[in-house]
A and B are shown apart, each in its own frame.
Chain A
């Protein structure tokens, strides 16, 4: 089996079979990462460019490691969109880069739709590493991988995403990914950070975190950004913490064997208390580890791979 597209733009529209293919492939790569020599020649001769138009630590390092462990040639470029805007257009920039003969582009950008835009002006395979508030598919895939690793079966789990849903690309990719895999998804957050008509995405919407957590298996806690307070969407972070912060007390409502996730970076004491973030049910660091395996799987499959990796 192969993926239908040579790009990974988002999880919207991806089938359960395709997601399973990525998760299964990632499992093989995870084994490789546990070996003493964590490098395979799979992508030897393939050139990957990482275009990061928005600051990123974890995703960028994760992609670079994944590329290097597959023996790809890696070039990374980071720019502040606003400084780029003054001069060359995005289209010119990427066409110049492609003219230097490359095979794949990993792109992170503050604007929704940029990865799609790149598919229209380049021949390379495009991987979305986060576009605006649209999608962050590799994050959702690593979330799925981490949950599948623990529960074996995603179907039937109740997953609650708590926080700033409106501006979160992770929330959207998780919604597509988890619902496609048969989980029941709920979102919870302040009404001002809940995007219009989100219930039409086939999920439950809560503004009471205690209600949302009732009988849930997985809680994905999103980062709350200080800008939301400045933009008038939140009266104060303190108030957010009181109403939506995930603390030990609130965990009582969850099912046994529950899991706490966070895509990072964490604002300790704002959306999640340190005890919860570091508790035994937290898989936050597993997520980061699995991120490399997932990105290796995505790079491998998009470069045309299909057979099982050795």
Chain B
């Protein structure tokens, strides 16, 4: 058969694949793939990954419904944000599961874990069902994190077995610490039965008390109440001891200080089952951002010092820090446009996270692409026992396609999130999301 005849033959056949992503650099941390390849999707699953031969020759011709030319782009597993606040139920004026999912896919995230500190908190099976019901409308996959204690009061454990049956992927009282060590011990022990991770918001609230920013020279000159680094580190030290003692699985949320990184590195060396995350703002900004009283830079844990940022980057590089999570925390303009002391903590992050990872970590050679992508996919997937997070045959076709060279200026007014509380407005970022794909369907743009 000559070439044109062969082509005609192919055209007669029904399409074999729904979607083909051709010629992109496929980075899959789990399989240690980092090469130019074509990815074929059928029925919501990845069905074929064919590496390109040298000199960029295309593979055998096949019929597909839709083709994405990914030349010059990076194709990665759909990003997973293991720590976001989607505010539903309770504060739908700030974000809903739907608007949060729109922000997520615009930022390259195809899976988002929503924290349970809603109003009311996600502390029972009905509440979890409510979240999953709302999630049916969402543009990305939503995974629910359940509360550790009833009403997040830090006193009695929730019905964790019930929560697990309803589909929670972890438990956390995030937003608040579990201050009572006995309660934390019980949670770690109980969760062993379900191989469930306890995500810990580490804060000694006696030490942080009325603090509104990092305690250091900047808080001293501004005359603002400080949150000392030790308020975080003491609780991390306690949780590491409890994890060691119980054999439970602990995940430390939003690590922000040098001391915290050191404690976790040491614990990992000793074989304690601990994982942790940091946020883009904690590896990008310092407490200098608070000097202009920008309430969008008011976040908990607070932005720390240059020394801490350097330690966070080192921890990301040497693997002490497993994940990068956004801690996406939407707040309304009215709530943030007040005296610094009275503003709530938190900033949105779903739409700037990838750009900050590329700009601050990859372009500055702190992490390679596979290392960075692992912290946004494989690692959270492993910690939460998810199926997503890999480019692998017969696995869900959750994919993100990134233009690594494109640069853009952050404009919070254009965010898909309902809230615009970002301190990154005007910042130039590298790395732009071209496509977000969930179960083989293009959900962004």
User: With A89-B334, A116-B292 known to touch, is A111 a contact of B220 (CB < 8 Å)?
Assistant: no
User: With A91-B337, A116-B293, A117-B293 known to touch, is A196 a contact of B219 (CB < 8 Å)?
Assistant: yes
User: With A91-B338, A116-B293 known to touch, is A12 a contact of B221 (CB < 8 Å)?
Assistant: yes
B interface residues, how many (CB within 8 angstroms): 20
Proximity bits, B226-265, A CB within 8 Å = 1, else 0:
1010000000000000000000000000000000000000
User: With A89-B334, A196-B226, A196-B228 known to touch, is A113 a contact of B340 (CB < 8 Å)?
Assistant: yes
User: With A113-B293, A116-B292, A117-B293 known to touch, is A197 a contact of B220 (CB < 8 Å)?
Assistant: yes
**A201 to chain B: which residues have CB within 8 Å?**
217, 220-221
Instruction: Name the one of A90, A91, A110, A196 contacting B220, with C-beta atoms under 8 angstroms.
Output: A196
User: With A89-B338, A111-B339 known to touch, is A197 a contact of B224 (CB < 8 Å)?
Assistant: no
Q: Which of A128-136, A210-218, A268-276, A294-302 contacts B (4 or more CB under 8 A)?
A: A128-136
Q: Are B221 and A111 in touch, CB under 8 angstroms?
A: no
User: With A117-B293, A196-B226, A196-B228 known to touch, is A112 a contact of B340 (CB < 8 Å)?
Assistant: yes
B223 at the interface (CB under 8 A from A): yes
Nearest A residue to B213 via CB reads A112
A152 at the interface (CB under 8 A from B): no
Proximity bits, A91-135, B CB within 8 Å = 1, else 0:
100000000000000000111111011000000000000011111
Nearest B residue to A172 via CB reads B223
Q: Are A111 and B341 in touch, CB under 8 angstroms?
A: yes
B216 at the interface (CB under 8 A from A): yes
User: With A109-B339, A111-B339 known to touch, is A134 a contact of B222 (CB < 8 Å)?
Assistant: yes
Q: Are A114 and B219 in touch, CB under 8 angstroms?
A: no
B215 at the interface (CB under 8 A from A): yes
Q: Are B339 and A135 in touch, CB under 8 angstroms?
A: no
Nearest B residue to A132 via CB reads B223
B408 at the interface (CB under 8 A from A): no
B130 at the interface (CB under 8 A from A): no
User: With A113-B293, A133-B224 known to touch, is A90 a contact of B215 (CB < 8 Å)?
Assistant: no
In the bound assembly, the distance between CA atoms of A132 and B219 in angstroms comes to 12
**A110 to chain B: which residues have CB within 8 Å?**
341
B194 at the interface (CB under 8 A from A): no
Query: Which chain A residues numbered 185 to 229 have a C-beta less than 8 Å away from chain B?
Result: 195-198, 200-201
Q: Are A200 and B217 in touch, CB under 8 angstroms?
A: yes
Shortest C-beta distance, B21 to chain A (Å), equals 46
Q: Are B339 and A114 in touch, CB under 8 angstroms?
A: yes
**B340 to chain A: which residues have CB within 8 Å?**
111-113, 117
Q: Are B339 and A90 in touch, CB under 8 angstroms?
A: yes
Q: Are B221 and A172 in touch, CB under 8 angstroms?
A: yes
Shortest C-beta distance, A220 to chain B (Å), equals 17
Instruction: Name the one of B223, B292, B338 contacting A90, with C-beta atoms under 8 angstroms.
Output: B338
Shortest C-beta distance, B205 to chain A (Å), equals 15
B342 at the interface (CB under 8 A from A): yes
Instruction: Name the one of B223, B337, B341 contacting A89, with C-beta atoms under 8 angstroms.
Output: B337
A12, A85, A112, A117: residue with the most chain B Cβ atoms closer than 10 Å: A112
Proximity bits, A169-182, B CB within 8 Å = 1, else 0:
10010000000000
Shortest C-beta distance, A174 to chain B (Å), equals 13
**A114 to chain B: which residues have CB within 8 Å?**
339
Shortest C-beta distance, B208 to chain A (Å), equals 14
Ordered by A's residue number, 18 sampled pairs between the chains whose C-beta atoms are within 8 Å are A89-B337, A89-B338, A110-B341, A111-B340, A111-B341, A112-B222, A112-B293, A113-B222, A116-B293, A117-B293, A133-B223, A133-B224, A135-B223, A172-B221, A172-B223, A198-B220, A200-B217, A200-B220
Listed from nearest, the 3 A-B pairs whose CB atoms lie closest are: A133-B223, A113-B293, A134-B223
Beyond known contacts A12-B221, A112-B341: 9 more, CB 8 A cutoff? A89-B337, A110-B341, A113-B222, A113-B224, A113-B340, A134-B223, A195-B220, A195-B226, A201-B220
